[in-house]
Every structure is written in C-alpha cells, then in structure tokens.
Amino acid sequence: MTTLVDGLNRLLRSVPPWALYLVLALPAPWYLYQGATGGLGVEPIKALEHALGEFALQLAIVGLAVTPLRRLAGVNLIKFRRAIGIMTFTYVFLHLLVWLVLDVQILSQIWADILKRPYITVGMAGFVLMIPLVATSNNWSVRKLGPRWRRLHRLTYPAVVLGGVHYVMLVKGFQIEPLIYLGVILGLLALRVRSLPRLRPA
C-alpha cells in the first residue's frame, strides 16, 4: 500500500498545477455544446444550471478531501488545492450566470427570487462567502495577510455546507443524491474538526 501511495505521489509531483486548470475547464464548453445541440433534454437551461452547479459541488468536496486524504491515506494533493478552489468558484459563477442571464433575465425578478426563495437565498450566501476566498487565492495575499489568511479561508467550510444545503432544498420531493452530497460534506468537515489540536485545560 505504501509503495502504491508513494508511486501516486511521485506521479502527482510531475503534474503541473496549470494542467489541472485545463482539465477542469473542459466540462464547461461540453455542457454548453450539449445544451445548444439538444443533449440536455427538453429544459436545457435548467439542465445546464444543474450540471454546472453539481460539478461545482463535486469540486468543493474534492477540495475538502485534500487534507483528510493526506492525513489518512498519505495522498498529497496540496499543490492542486488552489486550482480546485478557483475552478470551484468558476463553476459556481457560471451556474449563477446561467440563472441570471438565461433563466430569470429580469433584474427585479432576480432580487425578488433571492429574497423570497430560501434555496436561492442560501445559494447566494454561499457564493458571497466564496468571493473573498477566490480574491485572496494568490501568493501576494498569503504574504500580505500572514496568519489571517488561514483564518479567512476557513470560510470555505460554511460556504461548502451552504452549497450542499442549497442542493437539498432546490430538488422537488425526496431525493437521495443531494442528501449523499450533504452527508459527505458533513463527514469531511467532521474529520477536519477531529484533527484540530485540542485545547489543554488551564
């Protein structure tokens, strides 16, 4: 097992982070092509929204799994964490853009939906939390903020939880898939909490 993990880590070290950006960018034009050619069914806009949002949530889960994978399995994906985070935000933004431009289209209706529909309110709250994260996902911000950078990036946790809750709330009727996503998110967060150093009693 150790030999397998070591071999995997050597392979990962040989892959430049920019290659992951290219790979993760591929689904977006494919989804757009599918929507334009009828491959997304009778409601292509809704299907496109769903595909972009679900892929964003999957990437967010991968981002949460980076640290547990290193601690529990020895697989080191740390060098790719920034790329995963930035591409997660990119797909959340595309998901939001499709909703704004292709679905709702009317500015007053957009604001009304945010205020009146709880699942949209929750989704927008998660998106807002992601803005400072992506804005500081660069070496300059890490140097400038120092220890505060790590504290700021703990916003990742509530942002991903809100994304999972948003998915559960938007589906009609009881569906197991959104609950699985939310369960995986909560499980990964529980692993992270358990790994935090405990405060010593005074």
Along the 202 residues of the chain, how does pLDDT read in single tens digits? 678 888 888 888 889 999 999 999 999 999 989 988 888 888 899 999 999 999 999 999 999 999 988 888 888 899 999 999 999 999 999 999 999 988 887 777 888 888 888 999 999 999 999 999 999 999 999 999 999 999 999 999 999 999 999 999 998 777 899 999 999 999 999 987 765 555 444 3
Rounded CA-CA distance 96/101 in Å is 9
Would you say the C-alpha torsion 29, 33, 39, 44 has a positive or negative sign? positive
Which residue bears the tokens 């990964």?
Answer: 188
Q: What is the pTM of this model?
A: 0.90
Rounded CA-CA distance 33/16 in Å is 28
